A and B are shown apart, each in its own frame.
Chain A
Amino acid sequence: MKLTKVMKGVLAAASIALVGSFAQAQQAGGSLVFLVQPEPPTMAGYVSTSGPIGLLGPKIYDGLVDYDNDGKIVPMLAESVDVSPDGKTITFNLRKGVTWHDGEPFTSEDVQFTIMDVLKKVHPRGPNSFKEVTSIDTPDAHTAVFNLGNPAPYMLRALSSYESPMVPKHHLEGQDIKSAKLANNPVGTGPFKFVEWKKGQYMRLDKNENYWREGRPYLDRIVGRFVPDASTRAAAMEKGEVLYAAYNAVSNVEAVRLNKEKDNISVTTDGYSMINPMALLEFNTKEGPFTDASVRRAISTAIDRQYMIDTIFFGYGKPATSALSSNFSATGLHAVMPNYPANGDVAAANKILDDAGYARDGNGVRMKAMFDLIPYGEDWKRGGQYIQQVLGEIGIQVELRYEDVPTWLKRVYHNYDFEMNLNYFYQLSDPVLGVHRHYGTNMIRKGTHFVNSSRYSNPELDALLSAGMTTPDATKRAAIYLDIQNILANDMPVVNLFELEFLVVYNTKLKGAYGSAMGAYASFGDAYLD
């Protein structure tokens, strides 16, 4: 009894000491400890778009530009951007006096190398984003001129430090980019320098004293902590050991509770508008039980999207109404399609399967299938169990499979050894960047993650996707995407379930970390502790 009291006292003292060290900070100084979940595989954001890399990478690497909460372009490494009237020449005027963390100067050669030799070749989305870039001229050290085959307005939305980090040519030139040492010892131009990576525990970044923005960053240090257990993460947030958690590092149920019970903890859905995440089902359209589009339509019809949002994600989310997120309504591209009922219609789904001639056997089973679940935690497992039940109601008996991340990625994107897969994709700020990769025939890239694993191939759709890429006129573009959404609502190689609304859970002591549309994937140069 006595011992526990002493222990409690020690723990309380320790947590006061921790909180105290934050509280001393005024505008400048102090350490920000935040949650990174899961631990990133590497820090090579130029090779992998894996989420946790995005939480730390943009603190170390800068992009050419950033985007504010209204989506407007904010200068970063590029002081200004000039687009020629025909849209085929884009000139970036680079900031002078910027140096890499190792002291070497940042020049237009780095930009040329990053785009042409790194992002266009090894980045998962780079080949699409920079497809039209044929060459980059470097008339002087501070000017980079992009020459495009066709106008590509969407490209200007893909230049953030998360999507297209500028990397040092002198650390990668002449090496195999995918296995270069830079992956674990990042050297950028960003506000924070990489110091230490204690595997399984934390990554420490210290203030870059020579940062090109005067007086920034405010913070002396950023520490990303890796805590595998969900309850421990929530407890760390509650105790004030960590001040910031994004991308469901603190689960929605705990976030809602903390927001309600704690005065100093708040919750926001801001900071994800450029990410635009969509929960979905991918189908193997080449082999197995889901080669028939009518079965996929029946599944889309049966699932109660609103129920999944309400129970599993505690109300955060919006039912999907087409292949495109409703966030694209702002640009006029989104349209509401049939076959996406918000509340699910089991009777209608049964009718689709009856009409298609799938008879039930003695146990009421029409077909059996394997159902893989994205191994990103229990929310997804529960979602899978719900879908399993609903599919049972329409005579599709599925068995759930929940593996570790590498096995799952290999199964779905290397071996195509799956039938139905619960997943989520980032639709990003333009369909060209985030949506085309699910459906284009050119995006059937064996071994590349998060592309067209359904192996859906439709020449008519391919033509429309190409037109969507190169048509700058908004009205014409909307018409093209209406056709695209109609085809996809009928063929459904992927069934979109709902637009995820991730939360940021933060301690109100942390200020200035919310000014970028990139949210948690931003540089945090303006963040400070109050």
Chain B
Amino acid sequence: MADFWKRFSRNRQAVLGLVILCVVIFVAAIANFIFPTDPFLYSKFPLSAPGENGFLLGSDSIGRDVASGIAHGAKTSLLIGLIATLAAVFIGVIFGAFAGYYGGIVDDILMRITEVFQTIPSFVFAILLVAIMKPSIESVVIAITVVSWPAVARLVRGEFLGLKNREFVQACHTLGMSDLRIMLAEILPNCLSPIIVIGSLMVATAILIESGLAFLGLGDPNVMSWGFIISDGRSMLRVAWWICTFPGIAILITVLAINLVGEGLNDALNPRLRERN
């Protein structure tokens, strides 16, 4: 662990990313304490500029606090990113593991299915899925999962293909271990590092997709998110720049931070890069 941290911290940018990410998580965690009221709560002060009427980052067209929206939206964005990524990794690992381990006809079938999903542009596909289901937080998570898992499946398949003929796996076969046990207990732990790296990057993509969907009006109208604030304030950009700008900055730095952390994880976990510096 100490070794891992040493390798991770060698990448300054990754550490910076981690710090920013921790701040975002902290804000999300204490959102309910610093802004105890509902972020949707209207007020009698619509379109206040930042600093006016006690709104740190201004208020929107029906007087909702932009700062409160960003803090509560952080929770939504991070949760969506995390849940969608976990689900996508879960599905991707199952598909990839079976395809890579068994090969042949199983591989053909699973990979053809994966390719069907991969050939459709992911954001357009996500829009389509949310439009078919009603826009809600669940459908957004499902849509992000559906467009994200094929990448994981292909990665895991590649790893399994490379590992399944190694000596330690053959040894397991001789010992009479079941296929499932070999896959789960022997091969999977050996390809965890690339999965963690791709997973961390997927969280960033998921946040972007969620914001994009909300921006197009396909977010859950009952849940405060960054994309929602931007979508709501977009038509007022000329009158009230602050509504779109601050959540936009929040998305920018969060996605950047997660990407930096992902990069750092890649450096720290990838054995081939260990001696790079």
Contact = CB atoms under 8 A, between A and B. Distances in A.
Q: Are A and B co-members of a single complex?
A: yes
Interface of A: 230-231, 234, 251, 253-254, 257, 307, 310-312, 373, 378, 381-382, 384-386, 388-389, 392, 399-404
A253 B61 contact: yes
Given A389-B38, A399-B222, A402-B217, A253 B131 contact: no
Contacts of B217: 378, 381, 402
B41 interface: yes
A389 B61 contact: no
A282 B79 CA distance: 35
Contacts, number: 63
A400 B220 CA distance: 8
B221 A381 contact: yes
B235 A254 contact: yes
Interface residues of B, number: 23
B63 A389 contact: no
A312 B235 contact: no
A401 B238 contact: no
Given A231-B235, A388-B40, A399-B222, A311 B61 contact: yes
A311 B221 contact: no
Nearest to A261: B238
Given A257-B239, A373-B221, A312 B61 contact: yes
Nearest to A383: B62
A399 B40 CA distance: 13
Contact of A385 (B221, B231, B235): B221
Nearest to A400: B221
Contact of A382 (B62, B234, B237, B238): B62
Which of B41, B222, B231 is packed against the most chain A CB atoms within 10 Å? B222
A401 B220 CA distance: 8
A382 B40 CA distance: 10
A466 B33 CA distance: 59
B222 A382 contact: no
Nearest to B231: A378
A389 B41 contact: yes
Which of B40, B62, B131, B134 is packed against the most chain A CB atoms within 10 Å? B62
A404 B131 CA distance: 8
Contacts of A401: 134, 221
Nearest to A387: B42
B62 A251 contact: no
B61 A382 contact: yes
Interface in B255-270: none
B232 interface: yes
B135 interface: yes
Interface in B199-247: 217, 221-222, 231-232, 234-239
A399 B235 CA distance: 24
18 contacts: A231-B234, A234-B238, A251-B235, A253-B235, A253-B236, A254-B238, A257-B239, A310-B46, A311-B62, A311-B63, A378-B217, A378-B235, A381-B221, A382-B62, A382-B232, A385-B221, A386-B42, A401-B221
A403 B232 CA distance: 16
Given A378-B232, A381-B221, A400-B221, A389 B238 contact: no
A403 B134 contact: yes
A517 B206 CA distance: 51
A231 B237 contact: yes
Which of A257, A382, A399 is packed against the most chain B CB atoms within 10 Å? A382
A311 B45 CA distance: 9
A257 B232 contact: no
Given A254-B235, A385-B40, 9 more contacts: A230-B235, A231-B237, A253-B235, A254-B238, A311-B63, A312-B62, A378-B231, A392-B38, A399-B222
Contact of B135 (A307, A378, A385, A402): A402
A389 B232 CA distance: 17
Contact of A384 (B41, B221, B231, B235): B221
A373 B46 CA distance: 22
A388 B232 CA distance: 16
> Which 3 pairs of residues, A with B, have the shortest CB-CB distance?
A400-B221, A311-B46, A230-B235
Contacts of A307: 42, 44
Nearest to B45: A311
A291 to B, nearest CB: 24
A252 to B, nearest CB: 10
Contacts of A389: 38, 40-42
A231 B131 CA distance: 22
A389 B217 CA distance: 20
A194 to B, nearest CB: 31
Given A230-B235, A254-B238, A400-B221, A386 B62 contact: yes
Contacts of B235: 230-231, 234, 251, 253-254, 378
Nearest to A231: B235
A64 B134 CA distance: 44
A73 B266 CA distance: 78
B221 A402 contact: yes
B63 A400 contact: no
Contacts of B63: 311
Given A373-B221, A378-B232, A400-B222, A385 B239 contact: no
Contacts of B62: 311-312, 382, 385-386
B25 to A, nearest CB: 27
A158 to B, nearest CB: 35
Contacts of A310: 46
B239 to A, nearest CB: 6
Contacts of B237: 231
A1 to B, nearest CB: 23
A402 B46 CA distance: 23
Interface in B76-113: none
A377 to B, nearest CB: 9
A230 B46 CA distance: 20
A310 B46 CA distance: 9
Interface in B101-142: 131, 134-135
Contacts of B221: 373, 381, 384-385, 400-402
Interface in B38-68: 38, 40-42, 44, 46, 61-63
Which of A230, A385, A403 is packed against the most chain B CB atoms within 10 Å? A385
A29 B24 CA distance: 61
A307 B236 CA distance: 19
A312 to B, nearest CB: 6
A253 B62 CA distance: 12
A416 B149 CA distance: 38
Contacts of A402: 135, 217, 221
